[in-house]
C-alpha cells in the first residue's frame, strides 16, 4: 500500500497492531478457562430454581440443579466452583447451622465431589448467611461483631467443610487471626491438604448489594454495615498488611474483593507477594454489565472479555465471576 505522504518516523508502534494475527502474537495477557471460578447460590429442597432479579441470568438452585451446573462447567472446561448458601428458616444468633455436618453446604460438597471429583470446590467460611442479624460473626448486646468468639465458630465451620471433602475453605469474614487458627485446626485434624483461599483484602463495598439480596442477608442486615471489620475503600497500605498477615498465617491463596474498582490493589498485591492472587468480580459489577448490555448500551461479550483481561493485566491468577460460563463459552467458541 503506497501513501502520498511519508514522514521519517523511525519507530512506528502501530506495525504490531496491523493485523489480528500480529496482535495475537504480541498480546501480553490472555484469559483462559483455567482462570475461572464460578460462584453458585444453593438452596435446600429439589427441583428449585429461583431467578435473582438484581443479577440477571443468575438463580438460586437446589442441589439437583447444582449438578446440572457442575456438568456445564465440566463440559466447558471450567475447573472451579464456589458455594454460597441461602439458608431458610434456620438462622440464629450463634450461626449454628454453619457447622452442621448435614447442612446445605456440607451436603453440596459431598455431592459435587462424588459426582465431579475433578472440580475444585471452594466453600465460603463466614456466618452472615446463618445469622439472624446478617453480620459475618457473633455479636454482643451493642451489635458489635466479636472477633475471637466468631473465630471459634469459623473453625467449626471450616472443619465441617473439610470433613465433607472440600478442596479450599475460603474465609470471607475478615476477623483478625482467623487464617492461622483455621490452618492449625485443619492440620490438627489431619486435613493437611485442604487449602485456604483467604479473602485478605475484602473492602466494605456497596458493590455487594445484589449478593446480599441473593443470599437473603440484606433484609437481616437492615441499616447496619460491616465497616468495623471490612476494609476502608480509602486504604491500600492496610490491605497489604492484611495480605501479609494471612500469608504468614498459612493462606495458600489470597483474594482482593471487589474487582474492577480495586485493580490498583490487585496489582500491588500481585507485585509484592508470591502467593496466587484471586480477584472477585462481584455481584454489583456483574449486575452493572448485565444491565447495560440488556439496555443495548454495551456489547456484553466483548466488554466481558475486556473486563477479564483487565483482571489478568493487573496480575490476577484467578477470577471469581458470575460470568464464568459466559466467558468459557466465548473462549471455547474461538478456540
User: Which sequence positions are flagged as catalytic?
Assistant: 202, 257
On whether the CB atoms of residues 286 and 239 are closer than 8 A, the answer is no
Residues in the chain predicted with pLDDT less than 50, given as ranges, are none
* Angle subtended at Cα 312 by Cα 310 and Cα 316, rounded to the nearest 5 degrees: 120
pLDDT in tens, 50-95: 999 999 999 999 999 999 999 999 999 999 999 999 998 889 999 9
Which fold would CATH assign to domain 29-334? TIM Barrel (3.20.20)
pLDDT at res. 10: 92
pLDDT at res. 215: 81
pLDDT at res. 89: 86
pLDDT in tens, 268-285: 999 999 999 999 999 999
Beta strands in the chain (DSSP E): 36-43, 49-51, 59-62, 80-85, 120-125, 138-139, 145-146, 168-171, 195-202, 253-257, 277-281, 318-321
Q: Please tell me the distance from the alpha carbon of residue 210 to that of residue 327, in angstroms, as a whole number.
A: 20
pLDDT at res. 207: 92
Q: Considering only CA atoms, which of 323, 170, 321, 325 is closest in space to residue 259?
A: 321
On whether the CB atoms of residues 239 and 265 are closer than 8 A, the answer is yes
What is the chain's length?
335
Residue ranges covered by each domain of the chain: 29-334
pLDDT at res. 224: 81
DSSP state of 94: T
Amino acid at each position: 500500500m503506497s501513501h502520498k505522504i511519508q514522514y521519517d518516523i523511525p519507530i512506528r508502534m502501530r506495525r504490531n497492531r496491523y493485523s489480528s494475527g500480529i496482535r495475537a502474537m504480541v498480546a501480553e495477557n490472555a484469559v483462559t478457562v483455567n482462570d475461572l471460578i464460578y460462584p453458585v447460590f444453593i438452596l435446600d429442597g429439589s427441583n428449585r430454581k429461583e431467578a435473582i432479579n438484581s443479577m440477571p441470568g443468575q438463580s438460586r438452585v437446589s442441589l439437583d440443579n447444582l449438578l446440572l451446573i457442575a456438568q456445564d462447567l465440566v463440559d466447558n472446561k471450567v475447573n472451579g466452583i464456589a458455594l454460597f448458601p441461602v439458608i431458610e428458616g434456620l438462622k440464629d444468633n450463634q450461626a449454628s447451622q454453619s457447622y452442621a455436618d448435614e447442612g446445605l453446604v456440607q451436603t453440596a460438597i459431598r455431592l459435587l465431589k462424588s459426582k465431579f471429583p475433578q472440580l475444585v470446590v471452594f466453600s465460603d467460611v463466614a456466618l452472615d448467611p446463618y445469622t439472624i442479624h446478617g453480620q459475618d460473626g457473633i455479636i454482643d448486646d451493642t451489635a458489635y461483631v466479636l472477633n475471637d468468639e466468631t473465630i471459634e465458630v469459623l473453625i467449626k465451620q471450616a472443619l465441617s467443610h473439610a470433613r465433607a471433602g472440600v478442596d479450599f475453605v475460603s474465609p470471607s469474614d475478615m476477623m483478625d487471626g482467623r487464617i492461622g487458627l483455621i490452618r492449625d485446626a485443619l492440620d490438627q485434624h489431619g486435613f493437611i491438604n485442604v487449602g485456604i483461599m483467604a479473602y485478605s483484602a475484602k473492602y466494605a463495598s456497596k458493590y455487594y448489594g445484589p449478593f446480599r439480596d441473593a443470599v437473603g442477608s440484606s433484609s437481616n442486615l437492615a441499616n447496619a454495615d460491616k465497616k468495623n471489620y471490612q476494609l476502608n475503600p480509602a486504604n491500600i497500605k492496610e490491605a497489604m498488611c492484611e495480605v501479609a498477615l494471612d500469608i504468614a498465617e498459612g493462606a495458600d491463596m489470597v483474594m482482593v474483593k471487589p474487582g474492577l474498582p480495586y485493580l490498583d490493589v490487585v496489582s500491588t498485591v500481585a507485585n509484592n507477594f508470591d502467593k496466587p492472587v484471586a480477584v472477585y468480580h462481584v455481584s454489583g459489577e456483574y449486575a452493572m454489565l448485565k444491565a447495560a448490555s440488556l439496555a443495548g448500551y454495551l456489547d456484553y461479550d466483548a466488554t466481558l472479555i475486556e473486563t477479564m483481561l483487565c483482571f489478568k493485566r493487573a496480575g490476577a491468577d484467578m477470577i471469581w465471576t458470575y460470568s464464568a460460563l459466559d466467558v468459557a463459552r466465548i473462549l471455547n467458541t474461538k478456540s
